[in-house]
Amino acid sequence: MVEMHNQVTNIGGFSFTERFVLGIGATNEEEGVILAKAQDGRKVALKILNANPGDPKYEEFHKCMRTEINALKALNHQHVMEIVGAGLDEQWTENGQQMRGDFIATLLECNGELYEFVDSTRGGFEEPISRQLFSQMLSGVTYMHQQGIVNRDLKLDNMLIGDDYTIKIADFGFAITIEGRDSDGKMYT
């Protein structure tokens, strides 16, 4: 879906003049993940959560955004999405309307989800490609665990794939430290 704007919208140094929705998140809102540009011209995926204080679901998603920001800031690996900006309780103007919410900007270095790729090939890969993809997934997951972070939402939809079959692990909204939510070692999965 593409929604045109009459003016440029800026959120924390990232701008867009149209909402080209890259994906719909757990909120099932059209905000989802949109294509934007950083001030240096790089393409970014901008995940936006519009504020809705008092709504229990908003509070839960706001907590997930904070978790995702913290996890991405702690990780720096070739097979994990690179965060380039984030904000909680930010304010911006979009089409003349005052907006408030959270955002996460990650470099856009992919062509879609691994799920779409698997679906388009009807699940069949040549062995060298399968080996390469699986090796990259393991590399990313091993690194996350070495950094003390568990994703808890690994699935093909959250594995992004680039032109050269490079995997990027995305969506850390349910991430948790290895110590666990209550520092008792339990992940509550």
Burial of 116 (0-12, 13-18, 19+ CB in 10 A): middle
Burial of 69 (0-12, 13-18, 19+ CB in 10 A): buried
Instruction: Reply yes or no on whether 153 is catalytic.
Output: yes
Q: Say if residues 153 and 174 touch (Cβ distance below 8 Å).
A: yes
Q: Say if residues 114 and 133 touch (Cβ distance below 8 Å).
A: yes
Residue in 55, 153, 164, 182 annotated catalytic? 153
Report the DSSP beta bridge partners of residue 112.
161
Pairwise CA distance, residues 50 & 58, whole Å: 8
Reading phi first (left if > 0) and then psi (alpha if -120 to 50, else beta), residue 32 is in: left
Residues with catalytic function: 153
